[in-house]
Amino acid sequence: MKHTRTILAGIMAAAVSTAALAEDVKVIGVSIPAATHGWAGGMNFHAQQTVERLEEVYPQLDFVLATASDPGKQVNDIEDMMATRNISALVVLPFESDPLTPPVQAVSESGAWVTVVDRGLSVPGIEDLYVAGDNSGFGRVSGEYMVSKMQDGGDIVVFRGIPTTIDNERVDAFSEAIKGSGINVLDMQHGNWNRDDSFNVMQDFLSKYDKIDAVWASDDDMAIGVLAAIEAAGRDDVQFVLGGAGMKEMIKRTADGDEMIPANVTYPPSMIATAIELTAVGLTSNAPVSGTFVIGSVLVTPENAMDFYYPDSPF
């Protein structure tokens, strides 16, 4: 199904909808990459949930949610929304920056509102609102947690993602946060945000170093690879692994008091929800919502973990 639309349901929503029929209904298009698992799977889940919620809250808004499995499909989705749905606003998480820039620019030039999420376009200034994650904050909060957890210092290994500016920002902020703390980074390698790569890197680390006190895996997929390598090696020197991004299985382990996974740091796929919510606020109120919203990376501990746990989400 090309366009997934949720249907207004429930007595309350129906009653409100009737009261508002006289008003103009505005359409918000939401265009995102498809995915059934991982971070993008979580993003799809939260987009769908938010559309359902907002169709209840705002009878004067209608939504068209399109998911694309490649950039070409996403370009078509957006052109379709323009041609057949007369959208007042577009919320887009671009598959890739270059191919998506011209169609999103066309939406903007038509006078519709444009909200871009997470990944920027190739031409600056097209979007009215940019909702982004906080990579420096992600590294800083992770580093501060390690310092608070390892008050007597210790030896750690660090996993980096795919070499990108995102990865640099995270690692630079982490390094800054642990400076002077007594935490010693034994080694730092790229696990490429990938379980298998991280399993292999952690195997190397474990054979190279007799004692590793903790691991900054910096991502939950990498953390899963790291944990598997530790288990395969039968090592009990590693006291804990700090991942990141808030995968539900890891959040659950933190909530349950698993000492190997004592915390998490968010880089939430639900930022798509914030983008859709803000776009709806812009169409229904006087509140200005142009600008840049950097979604904070928040420390998750056993105390607040259930606030970040979405059992129905694939992520």
Residue ranges that bind a copy of itself, judged by CB under 8 A: 11-12, 15-16, 19-20, 46, 49-50, 53, 57-58, 128-129, 134, 137, 266, 268, 270-271, 273-274, 276-278, 281, 285-296, 298, 310
- Tell me whether residue 191 or residue 314 sits nearer to a copy of itself (CB atom): 314
State how far the Cα of 311 lies from the Cα of 244, in Å rounded to an integer: 17
Q: How far is the CB of 280 from a copy of itself (least distance, A)?
A: 9
Residue 256 neighbours by CB distance under 10 Å? 10
Smallest CA-to-CA distance from 23 within 73, 60, 72 is with 60
- By C-beta, is 240 or 309 nearer to a copy of itself? 309
Indicate the residue among 103 and 137 with the shorter CB distance to a copy of itself.
137
Least separation in angstroms between CB 271 and a copy of itself: 6
Q: Could you tell me if 163 and 171 are in contact, meaning their C-beta atoms sit under 8 angstroms apart? A: no
Write down the least CB distance from residue 99 to a copy of itself, Å. Answer: 26
Cβ of residue 270: shortest distance to a copy of itself, in angstroms? 6
Q: What does the DSSP 8-state code read for residue 193?
A: T
In the complex with a copy of itself, which residue's Cβ is closer, 146 or 271? 271
Beta pairing, strands 26-33 & 113-117: unpaired
CA–CA distance, 95 with 16 (Å, rounded to integer): 36
Q: How far is the CB of 23 from a copy of itself (least distance, A)?
A: 11
Least distance between a copy of itself and beta carbon 237 (Å): 33
- Tell me the longest C-alpha to C-alpha distance in the chain: 72
Select 57 or 185, whichever has its Cβ closest to a copy of itself.
57
Cβ closest to a copy of itself, residue 18 vs residue 86? 18
Task: Return d(Cα 63, Cα 89) in angstroms, integer.
Answer: 10
Q: Are 133 and 271 in contact (CB under 8 A)?
A: yes
